[in-house]
Structure 1
C-alpha cells in the first residue's frame, strides 16, 4: 500500500518489468496522465540526465517502501499512524499542498486501517488518543499537526 501525491510517477519500475504485481487506484477524484513506455525510453536516450532523475525517484520510492515494511513489523499502531501523517506532510509540503503542519487528508478511518494493517477500532482509539493529547486536530478531511516534534519523535520520523 502506498499513497501517491500530485506529480508522482508511480511504477517507474514497469519500464523494465512486463507484469506488475499490484494495481493503482485513486481514493479521490484525480487527473491522471499515462506516459507510454516508448516515450520515456526515447526521452532518457535523448537526455541521459533525465535517467538519473527517474532513477532517483525510484530509489526514493524504494526507501519509502522499506519504511512501510519496517513499520508494519516494528511500529505500534500509534507510531504507524504518526509516521504516515508525518510522511504525507513532508511530501505535500514539498509541492505546496501543505504548510504550517496542516494539509487535506481525505482518508476514512477504514482506509487508514487498510493502509496500515489496523482494525477500524484500533485506528479510532489512536486518533482519539492523539486528539486528547492535542497533538493533532482532524476534522472535515483536514489534518492539523499541533505538536510536530512530539509526533515526529514518537515515530522516529526522518524526512
Structure 2
C-alpha cells in the first residue's frame, strides 16, 4: 500500500489509526520477549518458553484441546528458532520429559503440568495482549 494512501486512510479513520498503533505496541512487546528469551535464558528455559507460547497461540485459534496440541515442528526448526543446536534441542526435550513437564508422542504435545512449565520458562502471556480467557490457557 502506498504511504500516501495509508496516511489518507489513517487521517480519515482514527479508529484504524488506533488499531495500527495497538498492533505496533503488541509487536514491540513480542519482540522484547523474544530478545529476552533467546538472549538471556538457558536452552531448557527457552524451550519451555516456546512450548508455552505455542500452546497459548494454538488455543487462541482453537487448535489445542486443553493442554495438548499437534506440534509438527522438527528439532532443526526448534534449533533455528531458539538459537541452539539440534543436539541441544534433543537433550532439552528429553530433560523436559524426564521432569514430567511435557509428553511428546510423535507430533503430539501434551503438557501435564502447565503451571510448572510456565514457572520454569518465566512465561507470562499478558505480553500478547489477548483477552484473559485466551491467554489463561
Q: TM-score, normalised by structure 1?
A: 0.69
Against the structure 1 CA distance between its residues 49 and 86, is the aligned structure 2 distance closer, same or farther, given a 3 Å change threshold? same
What is the CA-CA distance between 1:106 and the residue it aligns to? 1.5
Task: Say whether residues 1:96 and 2:62 are aligned partners.
Answer: yes
What is the CA-CA distance between 1:104 and the residue it aligns to? 2.2
1:130 maps to which residue? 96
2:38 maps to which residue? 72
Against the structure 1 CA distance between its residues 137 and 70, is the aligned structure 2 distance closer, same or farther, given a 3 Å change threshold? same
Match of 1:106, SS state, is coil
Deviations, residues 35-91 of structure 1 (Å, cap 9, x unaligned): x457x8255444321221222122111111111111222101010011111112222
Aligned length: 124
Q: TM-score, normalised by structure 2?
A: 0.79
Match of 2:109, SS state, is strand
**More displaced, 52-61 or 82-91?**
52-61
Match of 2:22, SS state, is helix
Runs of 4+ in 1 over 4 A off after TM superposition: none
- Tell me which of the two structures has the higher relative contact order, counting C-alpha pairs closer than 8 angstroms and 6 or more residues apart: 2
Alignment root-mean-square deviation, CA? 2.0
2:50 to 84, 87, 90: 84
Matching of residues 6-155 of structure 1 within 5 Å: 36=1, 41=6, 43-155=9-121
Deviations, residues 100-148 of structure 1 (Å, cap 9, x unaligned): 1122222100100011111111100110111122211223322211110
What are the ranges of 5 or more consecutive residues in structure 1 without an aligned counterpart? 1-35
Which protein is richer in helix relative to its size? 2
What are the ranges of 5 or more consecutive residues in structure 2 without an aligned counterpart? 126-137
